[in-house]
Structure formats: structure tokens, C-alpha cells
Amino acid sequence: MHKLKWFIVLLILPLITLIFLSPRLMQAMTLASEATPQPSENGVALLVDIPAGATPTPTPFQPLPPTPTYLPEIERGSIAARATQIKDNAEGDDNPWDTSPAPTLVAGKRINLLLLGSDQRPYEGGFRTDTIILVSLDPSTGTASLVSFPRDLYVYIPGWTQQRINTAMGYGGFPLLADTLAYNFGVRPEHYVIVNFWAFTQTIDNLGGIDVYATQALTDHRDGYGYYTIEPGLNHMDGETALWYARSRYSTSDFDRGRRQQEVVLALFKRLLSLNAIEKAPELYDLYAQNVTTDLSFQDIAPLLPLAALLSDSSRIQQYFIGPGQVTAWTTPGGAQVLLPNPDAINAVLWQALGGE
């Protein structure tokens, strides 16, 4: 039973790491088949042994059923995608939006999910998702696309008001964030994976560090080091260095940070491919159980296994960014510096990322 539990943990590594672990997963499936699952009364094998009267607890592989959450009055499944249009006099305008229809992006049997990074600590209630990466998996072509959204993107949050996109999750959970993306950009993610930043460093350290290929130099302030520099090329990083590299933005921008976050994610995948992840699973289990939250079940993940062998080839993973060419910098009447979306430019990026022609 423990082997089966470890196998499920491997399926919920950040960004659905199962897709990058095909040989290890097949080995894990063989090991797991040797365990004898305990059948339930309805004949369904349990993934874990659950004591009678136990209180449900969300884990990376056994999420709780969704609880009621305030949502805007939008009929699901028939939402009309809308895009925010920037007026010519956006500078200083109290309400710089006009709404107009945007094409709903539909691309066959693609699976769209969000990889979210949270800064929430155990004793804190609210949080913001400062890392927002749309992951689009295409089983028909064996490819995947990553699209990074800057956290300061100023959008309409349905039922609320115009606000930074990274506040939507705190207002209404994943359903509201999904509605926000659908309303503004015409794409609705079906699932999410939230990784706590504070577990990020421990995960990388447990793996012995990662090798990050930096496409550009970075010099920025780092606590305890003063100004710290990462040179272009391959850099071995421990957990704290990787977290600093992924989050630093004082000397650069949110756009550059999005690029570095994807570099770290890909480095983590490659590190997992380079070692026997089965042996590491017991060490990582408690860490992931406490710090990775998802609505994906084993039944959701299992159909993705055929993608594993193909996506272990990193050339099948395309990277996209909502960058300076897709937004306009704007200062709100309250003095907040935000980014207004250019809907046509963003739609062009999403159309390409989601398999449009």
C-alpha cells in the first residue's frame, strides 16, 4: 500500500510531473501492482487506508469535494468570452475599459490547467497567486504549452471589479480565477495545481539542487548577499537560490520574472528525469501532501500517462509569455502601477499556444 501511495505522489509533482517521468512511472506501476489494495463496500479499491470516522483532509492526490464559493452570475459552459479594450486616453482614466467579444479558444481535446505559486504561510488566511502559468496539454500531438501571465495584469474580475489578476483566487477560489480568464481572454482552465513557495526550497534541496539554464544575466539584491549575480548559461542552484532567482524583480520586471520561473520549472523537470524518483518519493511525500493542493484526482491524471514518453523530449514543450508587447503600463487613480491587457495581442499569443492556426 505504501508503494501505491508513493506512486500517486509522483503523479502530482508540480506541473503534473508525471508527464516527464514515463520510465519511472512504468516502474512504479509495476511495484504498485504488487500491493494488495483493500476493496471498499462498493467494490472500488481504496488508494489509501482510511480509519473509520476519519475527517477528510485535502492532499495532492485526494482533494476534497468543492465547497460553495461566491461566483458571478455566469452560466457555465456557455460563457461569452470578453476582452478588455484599452481606450486611447487610458492614462489617468478612472475606467479604461470597453468590452467587446473575443474568440473562444477551442482546440480539440486539449487539457488546460493552471500552475499557481502561492506565498501563503500556514497561519495566514488570504493569499495571492504571484505565479500564474497556464499549462495546455495536447494528447493528440504529444505537445504542451506554458503561458505565463504577469501578476499585475489589470483585468475585470466577474462580479467584483477591475483588479490585479493575482487577487482573483483570494476573492473566490479557483472557480473565480477560471471565470476571470474566460471572461477576459476566452480560455477556461479545467484544473489547478497550487505550490506553496515555502515548500519550493525544501523540494529542490531534497533533490540535491537543480541546474538552471539562464538565458540572460541577473543582478539583484539578495538577503545576506547584497547584490548577487547569476551569469548566462548553466547554473547549479540550491532551493533558496532558485526561489530568489524565480521571484526577483527589483532590477528587472514581472515579464523577466515569468521567463525565469519557466526556466526553473523546466530545470526541476530535468532533475527529476535524471534520478530515480521512486526512491525519492518517500522523502517528498509529507512535503507535497502539506504544500501542494490540486483538484486533480488519480482518474483525471491516469489518461495523461501516454503523453509521458513524448513530453520527456523538452522540444515538445513550447514557452509563451504575456510580455511588454501584449500590455500597456498604467497608473490607477489610487497610484497603483498595473498592466492593462492588449486583447488582440494576448489573443494572438493564446491562439498560438492553444493550437490555433
SS (H, E, C) 204-263: HHHCCCEEEEECCCEEEEECCCEEEEECCEEEEECHHHHHHHHHCCCCCCHHHHHHHHHH
Name the residue ranges covered by the structural domains of the chain.
Answer: 2-50+98-353
Query: Are 133 and 301 in contact, with CB atoms under 8 Å apart?
Result: no
- CA-based nearest residue to 284, from 211, 197, 202, 208: 202
3-state secondary structure of 291: helix
Query: Are 197 and 264 in contact, with CB atoms under 8 Å apart?
Result: no
3-state secondary structure of 115: strand
Q: Which superfamily does 2-50+98-353 belong to?
A: LCP protein (3.40.630.190)
DSSP annotation of 39 reads B
- CA-based nearest residue to 147, from 355, 351, 350, 345: 350
Q: Which stretch of DSSP H or E encloses residue 131?
A: strand 129-138
Write down the pLDDT at residue 157.
Answer: 96
Write down the pLDDT at residue 177.
Answer: 95
Q: Which stretch of DSSP H or E encloses residue 278?
A: helix 277-291
Write down the pLDDT at residue 294.
Answer: 85
Q: Which stretch of DSSP H or E encloses residue 348?
A: helix 343-353
163-168 contact pairs (CB < 8 A, 24+): 164/338, 165/132, 166/128, 166/129, 166/130, 166/132, 167/128, 168/129
The CB-side HSE value for 78 (13 A sphere, CA atoms) comes to 2
Helices (DSSP H) in 144-224: which residue ranges?
Answer: 168-185, 197-206
Q: Which stretch of DSSP H or E encloses residue 346?
A: helix 343-353
- Residue 308 grid coordinates: 509521458
Instruction: Give dist(CA 142, CA 138) in Å, integer.
Output: 6
pTM here? Answer: 0.63
Distances in Å between the Cα of 172 and the Cα atoms of 84, 159, 181, 191, 213 are: 21, 10, 13, 15, 36
Q: Which residues contact 357 (CB under 8 A, 6 or more apart)?
A: none
Write down the pLDDT at residue 225.
Answer: 87
- Residue 273 grid coordinates: 528525469
Write down the pLDDT at residue 92.
Answer: 40
Looking at this protein, which amino acid is placed at residue 232? P
Write down the pLDDT at residue 127.
Answer: 57
Mark the ranges of the chain whose per-residue pLDDT is less than 70: 1-108, 119-128, 251, 273-289, 305, 308-309, 312, 357
Distances in Å between the Cα of 196 and the Cα atoms of 114, 251, 311, 315, 347 are: 14, 24, 25, 28, 29
Write down the pLDDT at residue 298.
Answer: 72
- Residue 152 grid coordinates: 499585475
